[in-house]
């Protein structure tokens, strides 16, 4: 009983409530899985499942049949190993920093090898243990971020002994413009991947990210790795979002006031009221993932009413104009919608001049989290 009261109290007094719909995550996975079939659908859980809690997201995905999980770093994969069952395959997208090979092998985690140096160190580990070790080889097909360059692929093709003890599960690359379906870089990268793959030992391809899944079967390969689409983010720009929303964020009003014409609002006094206005200060700021770029341009909602941000977003608070509401509708403790049916993830990201990925991964830890 005491625990239940504590939970109720935490929800009641929290600065905001972040609702994460695990059932929606499952539906999104099913949508992507069905679209990909017969390609296997994995899941990217890097950055604590895009900020939503890998300890809750991973089991939900596992329950819907996902068995292939991608992390960015080894420590993320090691944490996942304690969360999902042993039949799950765990991959580390950024490969391995020197000295981490033994820990990775002991935990049965598969590195994505991005350079000849990483390949050599993983091969040495395999030889030291007297067994083959699995890996994915990433090829750089035009993003210039991670992966073997064309010259490194040629070296590997001419010196196959570099892969001694390495069991290559997939050849992988990353689409740089998959969220733009008509971008010419997409087919160019696909052609480069196919060309480079021909010079290496035969292996299945792992190519499609969230956007790549919607480019068509040619991009799917044998294993896809959706990320933001699982969490309700739009996989492509300029078209209707086919994914189910996963997150809703409501934050509390701290204080309301009425100010006369000519009142300066917020840091720097950059906003000056042009008439009498009713204002509210809400309990979120850039420390909570409400970007400072929303200053004097973003908004929150109360019901269907848009309440614009005025002045600069502060670290822990933001001022909004509530003059469009009947007097008394909002009071200290009331909740306003930051992300939800009236302001989807992509809308607030666009207002902030960023992308949904950044909004998701920056959601602060001061909100009470409701998983449903």
pLDDT in tens, 295-323: 999 999 999 999 999 999 999 999 999 99
Which regions in the chain score pLDDT beneath 70?
Answer: 1-8
pTM assigned to the model: 0.93
Q: What distance in Å separates the CA atoms of residue 154 and residue 250, rounded to the nearest whole number?
A: 53
Superfamily of domain 247-371: Lyase, Ornithine Decarboxylase; Chain A, domain 1 (2.40.37.10)
Phi-psi region of 144 (alpha: psi -120 to 50; beta: other; left: phi over 0): left
- Which residues belong to the active site? 46, 267
Give me the architecture of the 23-231 domain, per CATH.
Alpha-Beta Barrel (3.20)
Domain map (residue ranges) of the chain:
23-231, 247-371
pLDDT in tens, 230-284: 999 999 998 999 999 999 999 999 999 999 999 999 999 999 999 999 999 999 9
* HEC string for 269-321: HCEECCCCEEEEEECCCHHHCCCHHHCCCCEEEECCEEEEECCCCCCCCEEEE
- Please report the pLDDT score of residue 102 as a whole number: 98
Please tell me the predicted confidence (pLDDT) of residue 8. Answer: 56
Which pLDDT belongs to residue 318? Answer: 98
4 to 9, 12, 315: CA distances (angstroms): 9, 12, 31
> Which tokens is 282 given?
């809400």
pLDDT at 9: 75
Q: How far apart are CA 47 and CA 262, in angstroms?
A: 44
Give tens-digit pLDDT for 51-61. Answer: 999 999 999 99
């Amino acid at each position: 009983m005491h625990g239940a009261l504590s939970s109720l109290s935490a929800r009641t007094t929290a600065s905001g409530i972040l609702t994460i719909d695990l059932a929606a995550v499952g539906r999104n996975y099913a949508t992507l899985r069905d679209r990909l079939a017969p390609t296997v659908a994995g899941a990217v859980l890097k950055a604590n499942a895009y900020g939503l809690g890998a300890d809750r997201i991973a089991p939900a995905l596992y329950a819907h049949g996902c068995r292939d999980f991608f992390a960015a770093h080894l420590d993320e994969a090691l944490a996942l190993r304690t969360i999902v069952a042993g039949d799950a395959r765990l991959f580390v997208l950024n490969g391995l920093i020197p000295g981490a090979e033994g820990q990775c092998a002991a935990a049965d985690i598969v590195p994505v090898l991005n350079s000849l140096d990483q390949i050599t160190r993983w091969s040495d580990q395999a030889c030291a243990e007297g067994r083959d070790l699995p890996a994915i080889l990433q090829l750089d097909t035009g993003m210039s971020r991670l992966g073997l360059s064309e010259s490194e692929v040629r070296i590997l093709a001419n010196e196959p002994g570099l892969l001694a003890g390495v069991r290559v599960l997939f050849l992988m690359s990353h689409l740089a413009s998959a969220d733009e379906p008509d971008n010419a870089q997409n087919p160019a990268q696909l052609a480069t991947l196919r060309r480079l793959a021909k010079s290496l030992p035969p292996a299945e391809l792992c190519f499609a990210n969230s956007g790549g899944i919607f480019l068509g079967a040619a991009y799917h390969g044998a294993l896809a790795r959706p990320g933001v689409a699982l969490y309700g983010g739009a996989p492509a720009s300029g078209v209707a979002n086919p994914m189910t929303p996963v997150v809703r964020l409501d934050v509390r009003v701290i204080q309301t006031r009425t100010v006369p014409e000519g009142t300066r609002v917020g840091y720097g006094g950059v906003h000056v009221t042009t008439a009498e206005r009713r204002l509210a200060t809400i309990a979120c700021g850039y420390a909570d993932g409400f970007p400072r770029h929303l200053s004097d341009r973003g908004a929150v909602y109360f019901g269907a009413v848009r309440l614009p941000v005025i002045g600069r977003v502060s670290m822990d608070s933001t001022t909004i104009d509530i003059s469009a509401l009947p007097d008394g509708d909002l009071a200290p403790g009331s909740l306003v919608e930051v992300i939800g049916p009236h302001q989807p993830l992509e809308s607030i990201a666009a207002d902030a001049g960023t992308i949904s990925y950044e909004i998701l991964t920056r959601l602060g830890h001061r909100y009470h989290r409701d998983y449903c």
